[in-house]
Amino acid sequence: MTGMANARERIVRTWSATADADGAGRYSRYFTGTLLPELRKLPGFEGAFLLRRDLDSDGTVELTAHTFWASLEMIRAFTGDDVTVAVVEPTARAMPLDFDRTATHRGVVADAVS
Protein backbone atom coordinates (compact mmCIF):
# COMPACT_ATOMS: atom_id res chain seq x y z
CA MET A 1 0.00 0.00 0.00
CA THR A 2 2.63 2.53 -0.91
CA GLY A 3 2.20 5.73 -2.88
CA MET A 4 -0.96 7.04 -4.48
CA ALA A 5 -2.79 4.30 -6.31
CA ASN A 6 -6.32 3.51 -7.33
CA ALA A 7 -5.72 1.33 -10.38
CA ARG A 8 -6.85 -1.97 -8.86
CA GLU A 9 -9.35 -3.30 -6.39
CA ARG A 10 -8.42 -3.38 -2.72
CA ILE A 11 -10.83 -4.04 0.13
CA VAL A 12 -10.42 -3.00 3.76
CA ARG A 13 -12.11 -5.31 6.27
CA THR A 14 -12.81 -3.61 9.62
CA TRP A 15 -13.60 -5.16 12.99
CA SER A 16 -13.75 -3.63 16.49
CA ALA A 17 -13.61 -4.70 20.11
CA THR A 18 -13.51 -3.05 23.53
CA ALA A 19 -11.10 -4.19 26.20
CA ASP A 20 -9.56 -3.20 29.48
CA ALA A 21 -5.87 -2.27 29.42
CA ASP A 22 -4.73 -5.84 30.13
CA GLY A 23 -7.01 -7.39 27.51
CA ALA A 24 -5.96 -4.79 24.94
CA GLY A 25 -2.31 -5.60 25.55
CA ARG A 26 -2.93 -9.34 25.31
CA TYR A 27 -4.96 -8.93 22.10
CA SER A 28 -2.28 -6.71 20.57
CA ARG A 29 0.34 -9.38 21.25
CA TYR A 30 -1.98 -12.06 19.84
CA PHE A 31 -2.62 -9.93 16.74
CA THR A 32 1.08 -9.42 15.98
CA GLY A 33 2.42 -12.76 17.19
CA THR A 34 -0.30 -15.22 16.12
CA LEU A 35 -2.91 -13.72 13.82
CA LEU A 36 -0.69 -11.77 11.42
CA PRO A 37 1.63 -14.71 10.69
CA GLU A 38 -1.45 -16.81 9.83
CA LEU A 39 -3.04 -14.09 7.69
CA ARG A 40 0.23 -13.62 5.77
CA LYS A 41 -0.10 -17.20 4.54
CA LEU A 42 -3.45 -16.47 2.87
CA PRO A 43 -3.71 -15.56 -0.81
CA GLY A 44 -4.91 -11.99 -1.28
CA PHE A 45 -3.97 -10.74 2.20
CA GLU A 46 -2.10 -7.45 1.76
CA GLY A 47 -1.51 -6.11 5.26
CA ALA A 48 -3.18 -4.82 8.40
CA PHE A 49 -3.38 -2.11 11.03
CA LEU A 50 -4.52 -2.56 14.62
CA LEU A 51 -5.63 0.79 16.03
CA ARG A 52 -6.23 1.70 19.68
CA ARG A 53 -8.41 4.48 21.10
CA ASP A 54 -8.74 5.26 24.82
CA LEU A 55 -12.42 5.44 25.76
CA ASP A 56 -12.31 6.50 29.41
CA SER A 57 -10.06 7.15 32.39
CA ASP A 58 -10.69 3.62 33.73
CA GLY A 59 -8.51 2.14 30.99
CA THR A 60 -11.23 0.89 28.64
CA VAL A 61 -10.03 1.01 25.05
CA GLU A 62 -11.43 0.36 21.61
CA LEU A 63 -9.35 -1.80 19.30
CA THR A 64 -10.07 -1.61 15.58
CA ALA A 65 -8.48 -4.04 13.16
CA HIS A 66 -8.23 -3.06 9.50
CA THR A 67 -7.08 -5.84 7.19
CA PHE A 68 -6.32 -5.23 3.53
CA TRP A 69 -7.31 -7.70 0.83
CA ALA A 70 -6.89 -7.95 -2.93
CA SER A 71 -10.60 -8.64 -3.45
CA LEU A 72 -13.86 -9.61 -1.81
CA GLU A 73 -13.38 -13.10 -3.26
CA MET A 74 -10.13 -13.44 -1.31
CA ILE A 75 -11.94 -12.39 1.89
CA ARG A 76 -14.62 -15.00 1.16
CA ALA A 77 -11.90 -17.68 0.99
CA PHE A 78 -10.92 -16.62 4.54
CA THR A 79 -14.41 -16.15 6.03
CA GLY A 80 -16.65 -18.52 4.13
CA ASP A 81 -19.78 -17.51 2.23
CA ASP A 82 -20.88 -14.74 4.62
CA VAL A 83 -18.09 -12.16 4.53
CA THR A 84 -19.82 -10.05 7.20
CA VAL A 85 -19.25 -12.65 9.94
CA ALA A 86 -16.31 -11.76 12.19
CA VAL A 87 -13.65 -14.45 12.38
CA VAL A 88 -12.51 -14.45 16.03
CA GLU A 89 -10.68 -17.52 17.27
CA PRO A 90 -11.64 -18.92 20.70
CA THR A 91 -8.30 -17.84 22.19
CA ALA A 92 -8.90 -14.26 21.08
CA ARG A 93 -12.53 -14.22 22.27
CA ALA A 94 -11.39 -14.29 25.90
CA MET A 95 -9.24 -11.15 25.64
CA PRO A 96 -11.66 -8.26 24.99
CA LEU A 97 -14.61 -7.24 27.13
CA ASP A 98 -16.79 -7.30 24.03
CA PHE A 99 -16.31 -7.54 20.28
CA ASP A 100 -18.26 -7.04 17.08
CA ARG A 101 -19.79 -10.21 15.69
CA THR A 102 -19.63 -8.71 12.21
CA ALA A 103 -17.04 -7.00 10.05
CA THR A 104 -17.53 -4.21 7.53
CA HIS A 105 -15.89 -3.80 4.14
CA ARG A 106 -14.91 -0.73 2.16
CA GLY A 107 -13.20 -0.37 -1.17
CA VAL A 108 -10.03 1.70 -1.35
CA VAL A 109 -10.48 4.71 -3.61
CA ALA A 110 -7.02 6.22 -3.14
CA ASP A 111 -3.94 5.00 -1.28
CA ALA A 112 -1.65 7.62 0.23
CA VAL A 113 0.31 5.45 2.68
CA SER A 114 4.04 5.95 2.23
Q: What is the pLDDT of residue 1?
A: 47
Model pTM?
A: 0.87
**pLDDT of 4 higher than 70:** no
What residues contact residue 109 under an 8 Å CB cut-off, 6+ apart? Answer: 6
Query: What does the CA dihedral 33, 36, 38, 43 come to, rounded to 10 degrees?
Result: -160
Q: Give CATH for domain 11-107.
A: 3.30.70.100
CB 62 within 8 A of CB 17: yes
Q: What is the pLDDT of residue 113?
A: 72
User: Model confidence over 48-66: pLDDT tens digits?
Assistant: 999 999 998 888 999 999 9
Nearest of 104, 88, 106 to residue 19 by alpha carbon = 88
CB 86 within 8 A of CB 63: no
Q: What is the mean pLDDT of residues 18-24?
A: 96
pLDDT band per the 50, 70, 90 thresholds, residue 30: very high
Domain boundaries, the chain: 11-107
What is the residue type of 1?
M
